[in-house]
Amino acid sequence: MYIVSDEVTKSEQITIKEHIKEIIFSTTSKPEIIQWLLDHGMHESFIEDMRDEEQSVVYEESGNFTFIVLKYFKRSEEHPLLYEDFNIVIIITEKKLFFLCNDKDVVQRFVARFRRRYKKGDSIAYVTYTLVDILIDATMQIIDLIDDKLEIIEDSIFSEEFDEEEIQKSLYFARRSLNRISKVSVLENDVVNKLFNHFPTSIRKKLKFEFIDLKEHLSFLINESKSYLDRTGYLQNLLMGFMSNRMNQTMQRLTGITLIFLPLTFIVGNYGMNFDNMPELHWKYGYFAVWILNILMAFGIFWWLRKKRWI
């Protein structure tokens, strides 16, 4: 558990002090935090939602507590373009802000980024904005990474040097990630609006432009994720078009080879018939004449197919 306050910028102590401003970073399973929340009047239903990893994005208020669930996206080990989402629970009171996540690595990342931006005297409202902004910026970086990957995939398709199975898999996981980011961004945009509207008028005036910035970033995420979803569909169609073109070229080559050997097979078939009256059989140069005829016919058909760009 990490505690940030005006007196201590970083602490791993478990003790939560009363009557001073503190930002507590921890996992949702810390019994000390749960007990503190219950002792100060937090409803048990919020505790259940806090522990539930399937909990969707939500904004709720009860008594002195503001309860927010957002989503943090982290790259999956299964594939570079697959991002899994983790619950980020933010609980706000008058003097305390709890940032909770079951993934300890996520908690440490946020602590490191938050410490670089935190200044003594920052209000709880401004701290809330800072944490949400860090979260949204992290998602925007994912969108940029997916965009770069899609450009690489598009270039590989046009260069016709690609692994069809790997590209299909990449596009599939990219679509899953983008679809999830799009849905979550819409829900988080609603949460940001509720959070801003529930602040007192004086705080809304101070943080007006900060929250406008948050909404613009969320609108960017919503629009860009949908745009890249369309782009993955375009790349899938492009890939199928190139695969179909490859198949057509292969069929053309096979057809060209068949056209070359078809008349040769016809000639050989004629001379394979068992008739007595076949003058060429007793001609001294008959064998060589048939060979010359076959070569000329094969070369002529090959030249014609090359001219038509079939082979």
Alpha helix positions (H), 52-123? 104-117
* Res 295 pLDDT > 70: yes
Give the pLDDT score at 175.
Answer: 93
Give the pLDDT score at 154.
Answer: 87
Decide: 75 and 103 in contact? Cβ < 8 Å: no
Give the pLDDT score at 278.
Answer: 74
Paired with 74 in beta bridges are: 84
3-state secondary structure of 22: strand
Decide: 200 and 160 in contact? Cβ < 8 Å: no
Which CATH fold topology does 251-307 show?
A: Methane Monooxygenase Hydroxylase; Chain G, domain 1 (1.20.58)
What confidence tier does 21 reach under pLDDT thresholds 50, 70, 90? confident
Give the pLDDT score at 61.
Answer: 87
- Give the side-chain half-sphere CA count within 13 A for 10: 8
How far is residue 221's CA from residue 188's CA, in Å, rounded to a whole number? 11
84 or 289: which leads in pLDDT: 84
Give the pLDDT score at 40.
Answer: 82
* Res 3 pLDDT > 90: no
Closest CA relative to residue 242, chosen from 305, 158, 142, 131: 158
How far is residue 200's CA from residue 114's CA, in Å, rounded to a whole number? 24
Cα distance from N-terminal residue to C-terminal residue, the chain: 69
The angle formed by the CA atoms of residues 48, 84 and 22, to the nearest 5 degrees, is 50
For the entire predicted model, the pTM comes to: 0.78
How far is residue 180's CA from residue 302's CA, in Å, rounded to a whole number? 55
What does the pLDDT look like over 168-190, one tens digit per residue? 899 999 999 999 999 999 999 99
Q: Which of 1.10.3720.10, 2.60.260.20, 3.30.460.20, 3.40.50.300 is the CATH number of 1-119?
A: 3.30.460.20
Give the pLDDT score at 240.
Answer: 77
User: Concatenated DSSP letters for 40-53?
Assistant: TT--HHHHHHHH-T
Least confident of 80-94, 120-134, 153-167, 194-208: 153-167
Give the pLDDT score at 251.
Answer: 78
* Res 249 pLDDT > 80: no
Q: Which helix (H) or strand (E) holds 58?
A: strand 58-62
Closest CA relative to residue 132, chosen from 73, 47, 196, 192: 192
Q: Cβ of 287: how many Cβ atoms within 10 Å?
A: 12
How far is residue 272's CA from residue 269's CA, in Å, rounded to a whole number? 5
Segments making up each domain of the chain, as ranges? 1-119, 251-307
Structure tokens at 233: 């569909």
Alpha helix positions (H), 118-273? 124-158, 164-197, 201-206, 208-271
Decide: 185 and 217 in contact? Cβ < 8 Å: no
Closest CA relative to residue 69, chosen from 93, 81, 85: 85
Give the pLDDT score at 7.
Answer: 66
- Assign residue 107 a region: left if phi > 0, alpha if psi is -120 to 50, beta otherwise? alpha
Structure tokens at 102: 């079951």
Give the pLDDT score at 298.
Answer: 86
